[in-house]
Amino acid sequence: MIRLLIVEDSALMRKLLGQIFVAEGDFEVEFARNGTEALNIIQTFKPDVVTLDIHMPSMDGLTCLDRIMLEHPCPVVMVSSLTEEGAEETLAALEIGAVDFIAKPSGAISLKMDELAPPLVEKVRLAAAVRIRRSRRLAERVRMAQGGVPVVRRPVAGPSPGASSVPGLVLIGTSTGGPPALDAVLSRLPADFPWPVVVAQHMPGSFTGPLARRLDKICPMTVTEVTGQTRLTAGNIYIARGDADILVSKRGGSLVAMVAPESPAYRWHPSVERLVQSALKHVPPGDLIGVMMTGMGNDGAAAMAELKASGGRTIAEAEETAVVWGMPGELVRLNGASVIRPLNEIGDHLVGWIG
């Protein structure tokens, strides 16, 4: 049995969430109405996984999460709203140590629980299997291990009007555990890094803009969300918009990133597989580097394996640092990883390859 603690101040939401997991047959469920109550229950119930609402009386979700990570580390899945405020708070929770999040549907919750149930159960099952290190705080630990990273961006000159292309392109794919992993890797790239970086992080559309702004504050390179056709230039990191896919193409001799509607041919979005496939159509494999980091499933593994087989280079995050070794593990299984590196070495490895 999987011991699950549901922390939620709404009686209706507690009931609906409880029904979902009890119906699965292999969950032992306990409930808490706020963070204070949750911390008391955790000491005796010792849950395998916790679902944690962000907005609660007495003690809010972020404060409660911080205490859990310090005092009783265990996997936590945040339950948040789809608003921009909810996105900012969720990203903060992931930095503190939450494994994943699920976004509450808007409107009448009870009418949309059938839609919410499958991804919620999948995320909670996956989280229950994650081994949490005490005070995980991934990005903070990596920065401390590396002696700190620069947080002040120095502007880099833009391309000259006649420039028609860039030397190459870095493609990064990630999912569960991705935001703090991106923080740790992208903050290591200098402002004059010569290749643009395109990132496909599985997230809802209301979350990717806040993610880009959050990363932009700590990265020497400029970080933006791709919301339309965007020319790819050195010194820039491009975050794919959620609830859509991102494609690499050429317009007027220049490489561009384009937003495309979600394709039903791909399960996860923004699709890493579709991103890499599109780049292979317009960029020589030798001018591409694929980076596969923490995430469940296998999105992008086949395309990155093809990239390597065609003469490109790839990096898979090592199992010991990945929150979930699904996507990078699948790349390794397909013999698609040129190198396997722990998270704290990926950024410097990119600089070494390209510099």
Which residues are annotated as catalytic?
175, 202, 299
- Quickly count: other Cβ atoms within 10 Å of residue 252's Cβ: 7
Three-state DSSP class for residue 45: helix
Which two structure tokens, joined as six digits, stand for 245?
Answer: 């896919």
CB 334 within 8 A of CB 215: no
- Quickly count: other Cβ atoms within 10 Å of residue 145's Cβ: 12
- The residue type of 41 is I
Which two structure tokens, joined as six digits, stand for 204?
Answer: 């809802």
Alpha carbons 333 and 310: distance in angstroms, whole number: 17
CB 64 within 8 A of CB 41: no
CB-neighbour burial class of residue 311 (10 A; exposed 0-12, middle 13-18, buried 19+)? exposed
User: Comparing C-alpha atoms, which of 281, 283, 275, 323 is closest to residue 301?
Assistant: 275
CB-neighbour burial class of residue 28 (10 A; exposed 0-12, middle 13-18, buried 19+)? middle
